[in-house]
Chain A
Amino acid sequence: MTPELVDIRPLLAVLVSLACAGAVFAVRHRARWRAFWSLAAAGIKFALVWSMLPGALAGRVYVYQFGELLPGVAFGFRVDALGLFFALVSSTLWVLTTIYALGYMRGSHSLHRFFGFFALCISTTVGIAFAENLLTLFVFYELLTICTYPLIMHNEDLAARRAARKYLVYTLFGGGLILAGMVLLHSVTGTLSLAETGILDASVGDHWLLAIFLLLIAGFGVKAALMPLHAWLPAAMVAPTPVSALLHAVAVVKAGVFGILRTIYNVFGIDLLRDLGYADWLAMLAGVIMVVASVQALRQKEIKARLAWSTISQLSYIVLAAALLTPLAALAAIIHIANQAFSKITLFFVAGAIERGTGRKRVDELAGVGRLMPWTMAAFTLASLSFIGVPLMAGFVTKWYLSLGALDAGAGIYVAVMVISGLLNAAYWLPMIHQAFFKPLPSEPGNDLRNRPRVSSMMIGPILVCAAYVILLGAGASAPSMPFSLAEAAARFAFELEVPLE
């Protein structure tokens, strides 16, 4: 049994962002204070979450309980390896995204609202990560829906309203499914704990199990943009870039994926799912999505739309890996949360920087941008190579363990699917790099890009840090106190293995 320690840090980590939101709302239009509070809270949260890493690596589990929200269902936090991994990713990216957003959003309207809800989003994300049971997770999950809504709406024009409405309709529907699944689950098991490796067992009866599985997976699948529940994601691209980055890389989609992982590893448990065979279908679905979404991405002409479809494809890597039900695939699923996050956020940051620096939003307008913004485009190149799965970049690590996991599961076909998906990734990223670096700047009279507005260094800095992380995650897996070992611990817990994975 893992030693559980009562610790206030999980609570503080959630509260820091909450307090930050309050402070940001309170200072209203004083930009300096807004920046100060946002950065201070991001920094404190970062330190708090990372300070739990050594303990977690040593096998400790931090808990903090408030008491019961409902009979038999407590409201509390429990920091296990999987949750801490997710929290590490989001708190790290919050720091970077905050800095980037301060640069990107300069001069926009309603900034206190923007940064306030931004902080709330991260607060709820960490709440999801640390949730001790499904109900606590659901609380933060729904709050996240609500807190992201003003961010998508930020531009307050027709397109933003439409997208936000679509987002809400989808996510509320998903939330409803989760709630229904959760009620079913509680009524058959009497618990919603996420501390076990499976709270269900076969005695519950097949049709109940199937209903719970479908409800929870479809419910979380909405935010995880699992096709065919994905349509909100490309639409939500109207939001400001830092929000898209947050939606795609950190908070929203990862919350969905995290929910799916929790469903598979902690609610059903590996053994039960293996007996039931539902996961095979899920894996098949994920495999199809991987390819179909990539083909869709190939057809997009807007940079951000392409990024959105690529996200859908990448998320299905995680779902596939989780559904394969082998230890190495689980490792791939967990580690890909970080890998996809850092790679994708780099791309989003770059897309935003290009938009700010040159006003270009379309793939075919990128000609010569590499000349104007060499560092930015270099970062873009690294991140896209990561998605293609070139060794040394983060994406390769996923691809490798996912392949081994698929072979372990006797499903070698997924290796082929992944290779194809990698090629499709190459087919839509490399032309952009080609445009940016090898095509000359078009010389349009009256539109001299050489006199373009300078891109703030507050945007370039996070881009470079994220790109460095992409390499660090790809090449530094064995370095001491890297999240990799945490992911491994989480995978081991799910499979109840004592020895390190291979």
Chain B
Amino acid sequence: MIEWSHWLPILAMLPLVGGALTPLLFRHRPAAACFWAVSVASVTSVVAIALLLRLVDSGGFSYAVGGWLPQYGIELRMDEVGAFAVPASLLVLLSLVFSRHYVARAVDASRVSFYYALVLINLGGLNGFLVTGDLFNLFVFMEIFSVSAYALVATAREPIASLAALKYLLLGAASSLLVLFSVGVVFAMTGTLNLEDAAAALALSSPMPAGLALAGLATGFAVKAALFPVHFWLPDAHAAAPAPVSAVLSALVVKAGIVGVLRTLELFGGAESLLQPLLHLVVWLGALGALGGALMALVQRDIKLMLAYSTVANIGYIFIGLGLATASAVSGAMVHAVNHAVIKSALFLAAGAMIHRTGLRNIDDLRGLGRRMPVTAFGMAFTLIALSGAPPMAGFTGKWQIALGALQAGHPSLVAVLVIAGIVVLAFGIRVINALYFRPPARVAVASATEAPASMWLPVLMLTIASLALGLAGTPMLEFVGPAAQSIYGTLP
């Protein structure tokens, strides 16, 4: 009988170590670096899946690093939120596969091994963040994935990339400081950094410093998650980064911010009087983000910028769901986080493949590409429709649940927000589809383009299929996250 909990540190440590080794081992062999990174990510994915199966089979479990038991030692634990490590590892894996040909053009040759290293470290940071049971480590892992993300944005050759990275860095650093400060406050109040113990202590504590900590944590993670109105670093950063990085950022890194928010809610679950106003605020900010992001996406000409704004919109949906605090809304938000990750990475990868083949990123320039790159274009068209929330694709489940939750909570106007935002998303989706399929090519680069290599279209296709499959698997997913939603919020209506 293997003790499953021993596997938990592997989830974080393997990519971290693997990433650190990459520049040392493969400095001048980019192809080998890619192969190495893919191998590491594959093993990590297998471990993640194994842990998920274990979780489904017999519930959550935890591991004390070095045998030091909680309250003093570092605790890692696997729960339903931590299960996000599975899509995270798989999506990073696919992005790495995609990167093989992509980085040759998009990243300076001398930086390629660092690129792979950073992606792996990012994954390690994410996984660690997801499975840690301890506030301080939460902060540490957050810094790991954040810093690697800043650097990844900067690897792009685009002139704007370093500026975007700087913007991202400044805001990210500020939010990290807020989080660190709040962690300090919590530790000062409770004397522990373990999440469960701290939560128990906070439930009994006085509102004033706890409120400060809550505000700090929430704001800090909200910046990471790009909640409106602290989202403005996101479009530039996501648009400027290399496409696979954009995929990872949009799909996973901002979701880590959401996981952070969930952890915060977990931490303050006992202090209901503090939580209520915050949740209210989150709902309406989310609604504004959903509408504003969708509308901003509609007016973009750059395809990646458009996708980046749509991320803002989808983060808005998720926050609506979290803020509504009803069973169906919260589980819907959690499922939507996964589904959006899959859909959005498919979109970014498809956009990347197009940019890779044509060098063009303006939607109007991409006209007529549908016939030149059939698989990629199909993937993009399909996932754009999925993104709008058309049933039975993946985008639908979460929105439906959030809408139901909105009605249960007595906010019918939010249903209108969701519906209108969905229509707007579909509208810009149709705009892209229109350009791809129904317009004659306007650029020579398009007319002479051919389908991307298999290392690019295969991940796109797999994610496209996944965006349908996850939509059909809505019920099991909701059932899976249901208990977690209940436990985070105490009891939900």
Residues of A within 8 A of B (CB): 66-71, 75, 113, 135, 138-139, 142-143, 146, 149-150, 153, 156, 161, 164, 168-169, 172-173, 175-177, 179-180, 183-184, 186-187, 211
User: Who on chain A is nearest to B433 by CB?
Assistant: A149
* Interchain CB contact under 8 A, B423 and A68: no
User: Are A139 and B404 in contact (CB-based, < 8 A)?
Assistant: no
B438 interface residue (CB < 8 Å to A): yes
Interface: B437 (CB within 8 A): yes
CB distance from A110 to the nearest CB of B (A): 9
Q: Are A184 and B392 in contact (CB under 8 A)?
A: no
1/0 contact string of B423-446 vs chain A (CB within 8 Å): 100110010001001111000000
Leading 9 A-B pairs by shortest Cβ distance? A187-B407, A176-B419, A68-B475, A183-B403, A139-B391, A153-B438, A176-B423, A142-B390, A172-B423
Q: Pick 15 A–B contacts, CB within 8 A, sort by A.
A: A68-B475, A70-B475, A70-B478, A142-B390, A146-B385, A150-B438, A156-B440, A161-B434, A168-B430, A172-B427, A176-B420, A183-B415, A184-B415, A187-B408, A211-B412
Contacting pair B438 A156 (CB below 8 A): yes
Q: Is the CB of A180 within 8 A of B400?
A: no
Count of A-B contacts judged by CB separation below 8 Å: 78
Q: What is the distance, in angstroms, from B428's C-beta to the closest C-beta of chain A?
A: 12
Bound-complex Cα distance A142 to B396 (A):
12
User: A69 contacts B408, CB within 8 Å?
Assistant: no
B475: A residues at CB distance < 8 A: 67-71
Q: A177-B419, A184-B412 are in contact. List 16 more A-B contacts (CB 8 A).
A: A66-B472, A69-B397, A69-B475, A70-B400, A75-B472, A139-B392, A142-B391, A143-B390, A150-B437, A150-B438, A153-B434, A153-B438, A172-B427, A180-B403, A180-B416, A186-B404
**Contact across chains for B423 and A184 when beta carbons are under 8 A apart:** no
In the assembled complex, which residues on chain B have CB atoms less than 8 Å from the CB atom of A179?
403, 419, 422
> Within the assembled complex, what's the spacing in Å between the Cα atoms of A179 and B423?
11
In the complex, chain B residues whose CB is within 8 Å of the CB of A138: 391
Q: Output the least CB separation between B399 and chain A (Å).
A: 9
**Contact partner of B392 among A75, A161, A169, A187, CB < 8 A?**
A75
Chain A facing B: main interface SS:
helix
The answer to whether the Cβ of B459 comes within 8 Å of any Cβ in the partner chain is: no
Partner of B400 from the list A146, A153, A164, A183 (CB cut-off 8 Å) is A183
* B401 close to A (CB within 8 Å): yes
Give the nearest-CB partner of B389 in chain A: A179
Collect the chain A residues with CB atoms within 8 Å of residue B70's CB: none
| A75–B400 alpha-carbon span in the complex (Å) | 14
B354 to A: closest C-beta gap in Å: 20
Q: How far is the CA of A139 from the CA of B385 in the complex (A)?
A: 12
Compute how far the CA of A187 lies from the CA of B207 in the bound complex, rounded to whole angstroms. 36
B15 at the interface (CB under 8 A from A): no
Cβ-defined contact, A161 with B438, below 8 A:
yes
**8 Å CB contact of B439 from A68, A113, A156:** A156
Residues of B within 8 A of A173 (CB): 423
What is the CB-to-nearest-CB distance from B295 to chain A, in angstroms, rounded to a whole number? 15
CA distance A69 to B473 in the complex (A): 7
Chain A residue nearest to B401 in the complex (CB) = A70
Complex contact A176–B438 (CB within 8 A): no
A70 touches B412 (CB 8 A): no
A139 to B403, CA, bound (A): 17
Q: Which residues of the partner chain A approach B479 to less than 8 Å between Cβ atoms?
A: 71
Q: How far is the CA of A184 from the CA of B415 in the complex (A)?
A: 9
Chain A residues in 8 Å Cβ range of B474: 68-70
CB atoms of A187 and B391 under 8 A apart: no
**CA gap between A68 and B475 in the complex, in Å:** 6
Closest CB in chain B relative to A180 CB, distance in Å: 5
Using Cβ atoms and an 8 Å threshold, which residues of chain B touch A143? Answer: 390
A139, A168, A172: most-surrounded residue (chain B CB, <10 A): A172
**Across-interface contacts of A67 in B (CB, < 8 A):** 475
Also in contact, A187 and B404, with CB within 8 A (given A70-B397, A142-B391, A176-B423): yes
Q: A138-B391, A146-B385, A176-B422 are in contact. Are A168 and B427 (CB under 8 A)?
A: yes
Kindly list chain A residues whose C-beta atoms are within 8 Å of the C-beta of B400. 70, 183
Chain A residues with Cβ under 8 A from B471's Cβ?
A: 69
- Give the CA-CA distance A156 to B472 in the complex, in Å: 34
Within B362-391, which residues are at the interface with A (CB < 8 Å)?
A: 385, 390-391
In this complex, the member of A66, A70, A161, A164 whose beta carbon has the largest number of chain B beta carbons within 10 angstroms is: A70
Q: B residues within 8 A CB of A68?
A: 474-475
Residues of chain B within 8 A of A168, CB atoms compared: 427, 430
Chain B residue contacts of A149, Cβ below 8 A: 430
Shortest CB–CB separation between residue B406 and chain A, in angstroms? 8
Least distance between B410 CB and chain A CB atoms (Å): 10
Chain A nearest Cβ from B432, distance in angstroms: 13
* Beta-carbon nearest neighbor of A153 in chain B: B438
Nearest-Cβ distance from residue B382 to partner chain A, whole angstroms: 10
Q: Which of B455-490 contact A (CB under 8 A)?
A: 471-472, 474-475, 478-479
> Looking at B392, B434, B472, B479, which has the most chain A CB atoms within 10 Å of its CB?
B392
Q: CA of A312 to CA of B407 in the docked complex: distance in angstroms?
A: 35
Q: How far is the CB of B137 from chain A (nearest CB, A)?
A: 35
Q: Nearest Cβ in chain A — how far from B1, in angstroms?
A: 34
Taking CB atoms, residues of chain B closer than 8 Å to A164 are: 434, 438
User: A128 vs B64: C-alpha distance in the bound complex, in angstroms?
Assistant: 55
Chain A residue nearest in CB terms to B437 = A150
| Most A-side CB within 10 Å, residue of B439, B474, B475, B479 | B475
Say yes or no: B391 contacts A69, CB within 8 Å. yes
Residue of B nearest to A66 (CB): B472
B12 to chain A, nearest CB (A): 34
Is the pair A172, B426 in contact by a Cβ cutoff of 8 Å?
yes
Chain A residue at smallest Cβ distance from B328: A71
Given A69-B392, A75-B392, A184-B407; A175-B423 close (CB under 8 Å): yes
Give chain B interface residues in 41-94, CB to chain A under 8 Å: none
Q: Which residues on the A side are within 8 Å of B391 (C-beta)?
A: 69, 135, 138-139, 142
Q: Choose one: B385, B437, B478; the contact of A71 (CB below 8 Å).
A: B478
Across the interface, which residues of A come within 8 angstroms of B426, CB to CB? 172
Say how far A439's CB is from chain B's closest CB, in angstroms.
40
Q: Are B415 and A180 in contact (CB under 8 A)?
A: yes
